[in-house]
A and B are shown apart, each in its own frame.
Chain A
Amino acid sequence: MTTTTGSTASANGSRWNAVLYATLLPAILVLAWQAWAMTLPADTRAPSPARAVAAFVNLVASGELILATAQSLGRVLAGFAFALLAGVGLGVLMGSSRRIRDNLDPIVESFRPIAPMAILPIAILWFGTGTAASLSIVTYAAFFPMLLNTIHGVSRVDRKLVLAAMTMGVPRLRILTKVVVPGALPGVLLGSRLAMGVAWTAIIAAELAVGAKTGAGGTSGGIGQMMFVFFAYSIDLNGIVVCMIVVGVVALLIDRLFRVAEYWLMPWRQ
């Protein structure tokens, strides 16, 4: 590719420079990690990039990794759906009625500083150690960003639109569904993205802790449970590293997906 014009060549050059810059430090770190791992005795348990890649290939080939990821994602989606229904429903009510909001605010605000994982012991007492316990934690974690951003979105709906609808004698419920909810869409979508991120973190914590605290590894599945099994039974640190990377990649994909959704659903915001 030497026959390009001068300007594109320099653009290509700076692009290559940027790529080089971006990969330089990660590459050095991975190489340093590999070099460090190679100085250890051969029977070490310490993870290394090469062995993590081998573990990744094994886990994908056996289908375990994909199944576990799918199980965790399924729980996250189910919990997110509950949180979406409850959060948007309550958020619209609290955002559009000052009286409801004043009455519920103290309760919401006193639950908010209670970390989702603090609910885990209660979830185990109520629902046992299966899917229901981790599902309830995910729902609890996703509920607050959903609720607060919906309230914020509703409170920022253009008043003139509401007044115009009222002037034209539109019934209150119709104003809610036709004016307030579409107007609050930016808040709801932002809340969804944040809620989904929190939910994904919460499911890992929940699966990990349910496994760690009941000792019955592998009963409910999921990627957090898989990490726990690697941690407590087969002591496979490379497997743990693979799980961590998968957790990160899924989190990134979820975030990007919601950003794309925001872009498509609200083109007027760009």
Chain B
Amino acid sequence: MNRTTTLQHEADVAAPAAGRRSPMRRLLDSRGFVAVRSFAIFIGLWYLMMLWANPLQLPSPFRVVDALAGLAASGELFRHALLTTSRLAIALVVATALAVPLGFLMGLNRKADALIDPVVELLRPISGIAWIPLGIFIFGVGDTLPVFIMMYVAFFPLLLNTVSGVRHVDQRLVAAARTMGVSRWAMLRQVIVPAALPTMMVGFRLAFAGAWAAVIAAELIGAPSGLGFAIEWYRQLLMSPKVFGFIVMIGIVGYLCDLGLRALQRWLTPWAEGTGLA
């Protein structure tokens, strides 16, 4: 995001002395320090609220850290996190395997698009979460339900971004390749896939974000394990520090996955840098 367009920029321009700051001042203004300070204030506020609140409803931050350490030491934390992320990985792989070929078909063939698109548009507004009750009847409580829900949620952004990526390939590139007598297969591999990949990667990240929100709901209602199950399980036992600990873990895992996907995006599509798609 372009920060120079913010209002504060005008204030910076008005104070040209900002460039000559002492090392101490620079440390205090550094991003890392500001983040630590914000967190310290946040935890301080949490602690103050805790003094006044019911400890069942708001445990002290130190007890949450304690619970997290205990859960990590017993391996329970990583077991649930691993289950959830492996379900996520399976769902994303299956959704990609279904959505990408279909997206290429719909992007390249107008007739196929006219035929399939109405079904997609009819199903898309039904959120994955609304499938949970029916899904429990079809798949039972277990691993399949969260995988199915995530696959369903991830399918649509992947498909739509593949279709749009394939369809908006620069026609000059296609014409140039055709002029040079490139075969159909080489055209697909060398021209269309590289041109569509940045948009597809955006779709992949959207798919991940949607799946991540849906899996917690799916596990909370219809799975005997995983991070979503764990928070609800400890809520029923009224072990609030562990509930908060698992919520922190959900944030950490979600953040790390997004970080990994960004790295994957930069690695797979370095040519998308600076086009607004990166």
Which of A26, A110, A115, A245 lies in contact with B213, CB distance below 8 A? A115
**Closest A residue to B213 using CB positions:** A115
Residues on A with C-beta less than 8 A from B258 are 113
Could you say which of B240, B243, B254 contacts A115, with CB atoms under 8 Å apart? Answer: B254
- For residue A247, which residue of chain B has the nearest CB? B130
Partner of A120, one of B3, B118, B220, B253: B220
In Å, the complex CA distance between A47 and B135 comes to 13
- Residues 16-48 of A, flagged 1 when their CB comes within 8 A of B and 0 if not, give 001001111110010000000000000001010
Enumerate B98-133 residues with CB–CB distance to A below 8 Å. Answer: 111, 114-119, 122-123, 125-127, 129-133
Find B3's partner among A115, A126, A155, A249 (CB 8 Å cutoff): A155
Residue B143 at the A interface, CB < 8 A? no
Q: Which residue of B lies closest to A29 (CB)?
A: B119
Chain B residues near A47 (CB-CB < 8 A)? 134
B212 close to A (CB within 8 Å):
yes
The complex places the Cα of A21 from the Cα of B110 at a distance, in Å, of 11
Cβ-based interface call for A200 (8 A)? yes
**Shortest Cβ distance from A45 into chain B, in angstroms?**
8
Cβ of A9 under 8 Å from chain B: no
A238 to B232: give the CA distance in the assembly, Å.
29
Contact residue among A180, A212, A255 (Cβ-Cβ distance under 8 Å from B7): A180
Asked whether A255 lies within 8 Å of B125 as measured between CB atoms, the reply is: yes
Chain A residues positioned under 8 Å from B215 (CB to CB): 115
**A162 touching B127 in the complex, CB below 8 Å, given contacts A21-B115, A113-B254, A116-B213:** no
Q: Is B169 an interface residue (CB 8 A)?
A: no
Tell whether A147 is near chain B: CB-to-CB under 8 Å: no
Let me know if A95 is at the binding interface, CB within 8 A: yes
Contact between A248 and B221, CB atoms less than 8 A apart: no
- Are B114 and A155 in contact, with the CB atoms below 8 A? no
Chain A residues contacting B114 (CB-CB under 8 Å) are 18, 21-22
Known: A209-B217, A209-B220, A244-B134. A204 touches B127 (CB 8 A): yes
Q: Which of B6, B38, B212, B246 has the most CB of A within 10 A?
A: B6
A228 to B246, CA, bound (A): 26
Among A116, A122, A152, A157, max chain B CB count under 10 A is at A122
Q: Which residues of A contact B3 (CB under 8 A)?
A: 98, 155
For residue B250, CB closer than 8 A to chain A, the reply is yes
Nearest-CB distance from A29 to chain B (Å)? 7
- Would B232 and A120 count as touching, CB distance under 8 A? yes
- Could you say which of A107, A119, A248, A252 contacts B42, with CB atoms under 8 Å apart? A107
B7 touches A231 (CB 8 A): no
Task: Determine the distance from Cα of A29 to Cα of B2 in the docked complex, in whole angstroms.
Answer: 48
Task: Check A125–B240 contact: CB distance below 8 A.
Answer: yes
Is there a chain A Cβ closer than 8 Å to B271's Cβ? no
In the assembled complex, which residues on chain B have CB atoms less than 8 Å from the CB atom of A200?
127
B9 at interface, CB cutoff 8 A: yes
Which chain B residues numbered 31 to 87 have a C-beta less than 8 Å away from chain A? 31, 34-35, 37-39, 42, 56-57
Q: How distant is A239 from chain B, measured CB to nearest CB, in Å?
A: 10
A7 part of interface (Cβ distance < 8 Å)? no
Q: Does A163 contact B (CB under 8 A)?
A: yes
A105 to B37, CA, bound (A): 12
Shortest beta-carbon distance, A144 to chain B, in Å?
11
A25→B9 CA distance, assembly (Å): 55
B251 interfacial contact with A, CB 8 Å: yes
Contact pattern, B 207-245, Cβ under 8 Å of A = 1, otherwise 0: 000001101110011000001100110111000100110
- Given A106-B39, A209-B217: A125 in contact with B115 (beta carbons within 8 A): no
Give the docked Cα–Cα distance between A249 and B56 (Å). 40
- Interface residue B8 (Cβ < 8 Å from any Cβ of A): yes
Q: For residue A251, which residues in chain B have a CB less than 8 angstroms away from its CB?
A: 125-127
Say whether, besides A24-B115, A116-B213, A237 and B250 are in contact (CB < 8 Å).
Answer: no
Interface residues of A in 93-110 (CB under 8 A from B): 95-99, 101-107, 109-110
Q: Does B5 contact A (CB under 8 A)?
A: yes
How far is B1's CA from A101's CA once the two chains are assembled, in angstroms? 12
Q: Which of A96, A122, A252 contacts B125 (CB 8 A)?
A: A252
- In the A-B complex, the 9 residue pairs with the closest CB atoms: A113-B254, A98-B8, A121-B235, A248-B126, A106-B35, A231-B133, A248-B125, A251-B125, A117-B217
On A, residues with C-beta under 8 Å from B are 18, 21-26, 29, 45, 47, 95-99, 101-107, 109-111, 113-122, 124-126, 151-152, 154-157, 159, 162-163, 166, 175, 180, 200-201, 204-205, 208-209, 212-213, 227-228, 230-231, 237, 240-241, 243-245, 247-249, 251-252, 255
Q: What are 22 inter-chain pairs, A to B, with CB distance below 8 A? A: A21-B111, A22-B117, A23-B118, A97-B7, A103-B34, A106-B34, A107-B42, A111-B251, A113-B254, A115-B254, A117-B217, A117-B228, A154-B6, A159-B9, A213-B235, A213-B236, A230-B133, A240-B133, A241-B134, A247-B127, A248-B127, A248-B130
Given contacts A109-B255, A204-B130, A245-B126, 7 further A-B contacts (CB under 8 A): A21-B114, A22-B114, A45-B137, A118-B216, A156-B2, A159-B9, A227-B130
